Structure 1
Amino acid sequence: MRSIGEMARDSGLGVSALRFYDGAGVLVPARVDPASGYRWYGPGQLAEARLLARLRRTGMPLADVRLVLAAWSGADTDLVRTLLDAHLRRLERGLSEARAALSTVRALLEHRENPMTSFRTPTVSLTVAADELAAALDAVRFAASTDPELPVLGGVLFDTEDDALRVVATDRYRMAVARAGASGHDGPRAQFVVPAPVADAMRALLTGSGGGDGGVRLSVADGRVVLEAGDRQAAGRCLDHDFPDYRRLAALPPGTRTLVDVAALRAAVRGGPVRAGDPGEEGGTARDLSLLEITADGTVAVVDEGDGAGRDRIAVDRDYLLDALDALAAGTRERLVVEFGAPTAPIAFRRVDEDGAEEGDAFSLLMPVRLED
């Protein structure tokens, strides 16, 4: 007999998926402990679970999955072949429809764009507080993408305002935004994407600029960005791409907010239970997940899937969570506001001042990982 954890490990189905398929009557355990409710699976059920995992990856409807499993061990395999062929035709039809829809979107995009206009960053310059810009880059750099298929996300967005500079990075699964004070703005408001290596060179320049409240001069013209600190500078070409509208991405539905102690949460995440993500999650790589829950007393706990369900529960990539905590809590910050929204909405981490009021100078969003079908 295999426990539910062993069955999850050996079959490729997560614990939550096994619970789901038990409740749906698709893969019912051979034995359930009457006292604890713990599930046990017989030796012959492993092959059935592995088959179920393969069918699950294809997106086969649950009703068809149930029929395939019921007919699998029979002598007549015609029903299984018929169901597989029908599902393959559905997938091919869906792919054809998706291609047509994407072709329409591309046509709309080409119609929207002006083919006579080439990429050109407006000329603008401003003075930015050196220590604040260094802290802002530290708060967002971890979220920049390394995916060669999305080169625009491999940089840091610089968004100039009259009295501030916002920097943003995202790799689709997480986004970080930070603000640095600015003055002496010359030119229109502008957005430009600085390649990650250039952003790193700027951060290194700030380290040697003396820190403190001194200002450094940031300017961009003809697609080239320059950061000057005294007689030294870091410069490079901006990325020739448009960055996603980060303000729209940051517009979250109302959620449950609570104040957390960073050191305690970090220790709980590092030492707490983890769940191995299913293959295919997070860009095709199985990663360790932490299951977070806001308890009845308003604290954030790292829980195990076997625990009873709490008021609010969400699964996030464990390493991404630690990155966000480390970046936002740099320096002397001891507390953050954590905001849980809908189960499919990002979880937000925001800086607060000594009185617990939200500062608004930096925040991070993490996309949740769905645990069940």
Structure 2
Amino acid sequence: DITKEKENVQLVTKLFKAIENSPTIVVITDKNGIIEFVNPKFEKVTGYTFKEVKGLNPHVLSTGYTTKAAYKKMWQTISSGENWQGEFKNKKKDGTVYWEEAIITPVKNEEGIITNYIALKEDITEKKAQEKKFLYALFEAQENEKLKFGEILHDNLSQILSAMSFFIEAVLNPKNTKDQLKIEYLQKIRQLTYDAQRESRNISHGLMSKQLIESGLVAATIEVCTNYNLSKNINFTFKNSGYHEDLFEVEIKQNIFRIIQEITTNIVSHSQATKATIKFSVKDNEWFILEVNDNGIGIDETQIKENSKCFGLKNIQQRVALLNGIIKRNSKPNMGTKYIIKLPLVLEPINSELNLLN
């Protein structure tokens, strides 16, 4: 039918023009992922021409940020006939890093066999930058509030309790009283006062990160372990392999420290663990690795997904994202939980106005 054939040709022509003029990046590959077509938007964003990338794998754009496991999962999804949606941190021809959101759809022939893949992509670099600026502003406000409250707690409450201890010591002096019962009561009050002093000191240090500012991330982390070892029924161990304080600016270390605080708080509050380990390491002079594991009851991932109030875990994820990092959590019932967080060593200042992302 010549009429039907003409209609099909016209339709294909219209679709091709729509793709060519689309504000969305379009990439078509064969079943093995080899590029067969890219539209002008791809050329504009990446700097590569169609001729330069034809016959290549889209991996030519890779920065190495996406893990092999993530790529494997993506291929399992699309090769099974399902759509895949996610984000890539890619690199343009001139070396500029950019973010893109992608939807990859398999194309099947009449027999239902996959012959091609179509990727529709959007440059979301500016969107990610705005998100990071928002997160930075949010966390900066949180830090200011914590600092203010910590100072008040340390300067006021601790001084009051110290004065109380002084007067109680005076009353306990044998020259001042011989009432044994009163002495016993006052001894109990003294012990409670010491406990309150210790707790207020722990809280204020956690809020102010004074140790972090004065001595660095390692010293602050050791202090977290020490405080928990003294006050809780859990043994924290700290290990360091290759990390030194010059690797990060103070703003980056502040966020890493808050991540550690969030994770250790969850361990102490919910895990029922008796042992936990915090480890710093450096891999290939490119990545800082933070590992935290415990021997507790584990985390129910289903409850986390269903519970919108898991602010601590969400806070961890947001901070890792702010630092361009990767987070992986492994947990099994009664076999503990392990966090592995990878952060790139080359990070621009977290408070820069325009270059928060790259």
Bigger Rg, which one: 2
Which structure would you say has the larger RCO, counting Cα contacts within 8 Å and 6 or more residues apart? 1
Normalising by structure 2, report the TM-score.
0.28
More helix by share: 2
